[in-house]
Amino acid sequence: MIPALTQFGEQMSHLTGVRAIMKDIIETLRAGQGKEFINLSAGNPVILPEVEQLWRDCTADLLASHEYGEVVCRYGSSQGYRPLIDAVINDFNQRYGLNLSDRNILITPGSQALYFYAANALGGYTTEGHLKQIVLPLSPDYTGYGGVTLYPEALRAYKPTLDLGFEPHRFKYRPDFSQLEITEQTGFVLFSRPCNPTGNVLTNEEVQKIAALATPHNIPVLIDSAYAPPFPALNFTEMAPLFGSNLVHCMSLSKAGLPGERIGIALGDERIIQILQSFQTNLCIHSSRYGQAIAARAIASGALANISETVIRPHYQHKFAILEETLDQTMPQSAPWFLHRGEGAIFAWLWFKDLPVTDWQFYQELKQYGVIVVPGSPFFPGLREEWPHMHQCIRISLTAADSEIVTALRHLANLVDRLYTQTPKPELAVRG
């Protein structure tokens, strides 16, 4: 049976971004016929023993409590499980000197759902037929943003400037404020900090400048803080959440060890929170209360923030250090390769200037060495102009074992050396 689809059904029935790549990766692993691959594509966090034990302990406490039946056997408030709301509000007010109330928070089934709510409540066509844009001020950014809106034409991303003022073979993306437009045609602004896929952290000044551009038009700025402090605290550089009248701080507990429970948290102006809550009520009632109940225990006790700083962050920071050292030792120094400055998250981002093949071809050739990465082009959703840089990057996951990372990067270096020495370079150089 092949059912007839609506425009919305047609759009949502196709995989986008990295999800489409993952289909190819799964098929590659299945067809390997015993061949061993080093998989550096994973977005799943490593199951760290201390983190798993924390969630086991919280689960045991819930199972032994009198509230277990109320948590799993009854519906709850669309806003979220009250003890989790109280735990988050108390933590943030005390930690950051805020004055948040329960009107400033919404618990969602993962942060991806939160961006879907916002994209279709604040972006798209108004009742008068005017298009409200969803602005991504710094591309590349999270590939998942490409699938959140019912109206793909609403998504608008902006090219960055490339800062090469670091040590050799390093670079950093920065917002290009000479090009960025936030106007009355903007519905809301969205970016990740730290960034998936690049590990970039926008500075306080850059965030405040973006917020200032949006303020005159009463435009919300949603900051995707899935890797930010206080949990999972996957920032390798000093940073703290920023708050303001039009800023919405959007958290996820996935990289804090609960990806299976889909827990997202939004903190912001109560009028924005109310809109998002109404959307959630109509869509799915509320997030998993089991996940919320164990998260409430971990946050209220301070255990989650502590384990984020002492276990989760050091684990991935160590992985990035190994990757950085191995690249410097093995990569051909004459090749124009650049590693994005490692400021956070669980990935590394590599740019190969004037790459003789596309990122997809590079990905395919690297598989012949038994190494799987992710091509970079899916991480430019909403970028409307053609830009060669989009096809010159790859994302590397920091979730493999130390020895696997070293071995994989040695193979990668061999491929890079072969491509740049045996294949003629393009006549036109890529401009940042």
Whether the pLDDT of residue 430 is over 50: the answer is no
Q: Give the pLDDT band (50/70/90) at residue 9.
A: confident
Prediction pTM value = 0.94
DSSP state, residue 312: I
50-304: CATH topology = Aspartate Aminotransferase; domain 2 (3.40.640)
**pLDDT given at position 423:** 56
The count of C-alpha atoms lying within 13 angstroms of the C-alpha of 262, restricted to the half-sphere facing its C-beta, is 11
* Strand, helix or coil for residue 124: strand
Q: Give the pLDDT band (50/70/90) at residue 205.
A: very high
**pLDDT given at position 35:** 77
Query: Chain-wide mean pLDDT for the chain?
Result: 93
C-beta contacts of 427-432 below 8 A and 24+ residues apart: 429/353, 429/354, 430/353, 430/354, 430/388, 430/389, 430/392, 432/161, 432/162, 432/164, 432/389
Locus of tokens 């990067």: 409
pLDDT single digits (tens) 224-243: 999 999 999 999 999 999 99
pLDDT single digits (tens) 49-84: 999 999 999 999 999 999 999 999 999 999 999 999
**Ramachandran bin of 396, using left for φ above 0, alpha for ψ from -120 to 50, beta for the remaining angles:** beta
Candidate CATH numbers 3.40.1410.10, 3.40.50.300, 3.90.550.10, 3.90.1150.10; the one for domain 7-47+307-422: 3.90.1150.10
Give the residues across from 397 on adjacent strands: 347
Locus of tokens 């490339």: 162
**pLDDT given at position 428:** 37
Phi, psi for 364 (deg, rounded to 5): -65, -40
Percent above pLDDT 90 for the chain: 87
Asked whether the beta carbons of 428 and 343 are under 8 A apart, the reply is no
Q: How far apart (Å, rounded) are the C-alpha atoms in residues 293 and 263?
A: 11
Name the residue among 234, 122, 264, 113 with its Cα closest to residue 186. Answer: 122
Kindly list the domain boundaries of the chain, sorted by start residue.
7-47+307-422, 50-304
Strand arrangement, sheet containing 347-352: 161-163, 170-174, 337-340, 347-352, 393-397, 374-375
Q: How far apart (Å, rounded) are the C-alpha atoms in residues 36 and 367?
A: 11
Number of Cβ within a 10 Å radius of residue 330: 16
Q: How far apart (Å, rounded) are the C-alpha atoms in residues 414 and 51?
A: 36
- Report the relative pairing of strands 131-136 and 155-157 from DSSP bridges: parallel
* Helix 49-64, helix 289-300: angle, nearest 10: 110
As a whole number, mean pLDDT of residues 181-198 equals 98
Q: How far apart (Å, rounded) are the C-alpha atoms in residues 395 and 391?
A: 12
- Report the relative pairing of strands 170-174 and 161-163 from DSSP bridges: antiparallel
The token pair at 166 is 């670091």
Number of Cβ within a 10 Å radius of residue 358: 16
Residues whose CB falls within 8 Å of the CB of residue 263, separated by 6 or more in sequence, listed in order: 107, 108, 109, 110, 252, 253, 254, 287, 288, 291, 292, 295
**pLDDT given at position 91:** 98
pLDDT single digits (tens) 93-150: 999 999 999 999 999 999 999 999 999 999 999 999 999 999 999 999 999 999 999 9
The residue count of the chain comes to 432
